[in-house]
Amino acid sequence: MNTNNLKSILMRPEISTFIMFVVIMTGFFIANENFLSARNIRIVMGITPEYIIVAIGIAILMISGEFDLSVGSVFALVPMTMVQLVHQGMPPWVAIALGLSIGIAVGFVNGFITLRFGIPSFIATLGMLYIARSLTTVATGGFPPPFPHELPNELFVFQFEVFRASLFWMLGVAFIAGIMLHRSNLGNWIYSTGGDTAAASSMGIKTNNVKMFCFILCGFLAGFAGMIQTFRIEAPLPSQGYLLELESIAAAVIGGVSLFGGVGTIFGAAIGAILIRFLESGIIMARIDAEWFRAGLGSLIIISVVFNTWVVRRGENMVHKNQAEENENSSQKNNSVTESKDE
């Protein structure tokens, strides 16, 4: 492998996020050695898979050129529905299937409104953010219901030594999404649709269908992740997933997904989500005072994206410089060849 290959890898935004992640982890470890203790890793990794699954859905949708602000509300609505259906006497697996289909339905409605009426997905899903949150409160019937233990929560959140079963579900989701996005025609269509919808359309890609698929997938994954969270804490909370939409978009952007579509990876979104969770934990572990908590988190989010952009730009400069040097070398070679011919 020559240096050019190495540089082109470093230039990838998700790799620079990863470097940032390692630097931050080291910093917080210096601040409090318990930061990387098995107990803390266990706490953070208990929560992180849920957020990564949402970030994956958001990232794919953003790559296709759309947004979903309703994921936080769907994250609460889907598990609340499942719990209430079980309380109504429905078999657990049927309740799970029906609950997840609500996530799919919300994704479909988001896509339908956005695409059919040609309005920005930002607006359509902002409306859905409020609607789904309100439906969650309605579904509680006034007071949050207890968690029905006939639901198979151990299958999704069983606590191993350090990790939970949800980590493996997340890896499964990431693997399938990764294959789909990076190794299939559908993935190519998603990138083309997000990169330049008109061009993709003229190439014969059914861009509306592609976007609709991404909306549905995003709604489904948000609901699935919400279900895992409810299963983990064994309580359906109407407040669950509050502000999650912004955090998922932040995770995707930190991981190198473009706000303008057409660019991004599953790995990037996942590493972005992990970074945010560890930042949050690290700030607490470093014993930063309450008033500074959000300021600290916000600054670190900005620093990480600035760092990310800086590394990418630096990489680009290096590659340009190398190309310039190569061009110079080759033109010198050509010159010397012509000179030798002349002789």
Partner 1 sequence: MKKFASIILASVALFATSAKAEYKFNFVMHSDTNNAFWAAVHKGFKDACAQVGADCQMLTLSGDGDQQEQLQNLESSIAQGVDGIVTTITNPTIFDAAVDEALAAGIPVITANTDDPEGAAGSNRLAYVGQDLEAAGYELAATLSKQFPDGPVHVLIGVADMNQSWAYTRANGIARFMDDFKAANPDREITYEKIESGMDLSTVGNRVASYVQTNPNTTAYFDVGFWEAGAAQGIRNLGYEPGQMLLAGFDLVDVVFEEMEKGYVQLTVDQQPYYQGYMSVHQLYLMNKYGLSALDINTGKAMIGPDDVAKIRSFKGMSVR
Binding site for partner 1 (CB under 8 A): 23-24, 26-28, 30-32, 34, 37, 39-40, 43, 47, 137, 140, 142-144, 146-147, 229, 233-235, 237-240, 242-243, 280-282, 284-291, 293-294, 303, 307, 310-311, 314
Q: C-beta of 285: minimal distance to partner 1 in Å? A: 6
Q: C-beta of 221: minimal distance to partner 1 in Å? A: 18
Choice between 192 and 229, CB closer to partner 1: 229
Q: C-beta of 31: minimal distance to partner 1 in Å? A: 4
Choice between 267 and 278, CB closer to partner 1: 278
Choice between 16 and 192, CB closer to partner 1: 16
Choice between 19 and 337, CB closer to partner 1: 19
Choice between 266 and 285, CB closer to partner 1: 285
Q: Which two tokens stand for residue 14?
A: 């998700």
Q: C-beta of 21: minimal distance to partner 1 in Å? A: 11
Choice between 81 and 240, CB closer to partner 1: 240
Cα–Cα dist 174/61, whole Å? 14
Residue 44 contacts residue 331 (beta carbons within 8 Å):
no
Q: C-beta of 318: minimal distance to partner 1 in Å? A: 12
Choice between 47 and 135, CB closer to partner 1: 47
Three-state secondary structure string covering the chain:
CCHHHHHHHHCCHHHHHHHHHHHHHHHHHHHCHHHHCHHHHHHHHHHHHHHHHHHHHHHHHHHCCCCCCCHHHHHHHHHHHHHHHHHCCCCHHHHHHHHHHHHHHHHHHHHHHHHHHCCCHHHHHHHHHHHHHHHHHHHHCCCCCCCCCCCCHHHHHCECCCCEHHHHHHHHHHHHHHHHHHHCHHHHHHHHHHHCHHHHHHCCCCHHHHHHHHHHHHHHHHHHHHHHHHHHHCCCCCCCCCCHHHHHHHHHHHCCCCCCCCCCCHHHHHHHHHHHHHHHHHHHHCCCCHHHHHHHHHHHHHHHHHHHHHHHHHHHHHHHHHHHHHHHHHHHHHHHHHHHHHC
Q: C-beta of 282: minimal distance to partner 1 in Å? A: 8
Q: C-beta of 237: minimal distance to partner 1 in Å? A: 5
Choice between 120 and 141, CB closer to partner 1: 141
Q: C-beta of 294: minimal distance to partner 1 in Å? A: 6
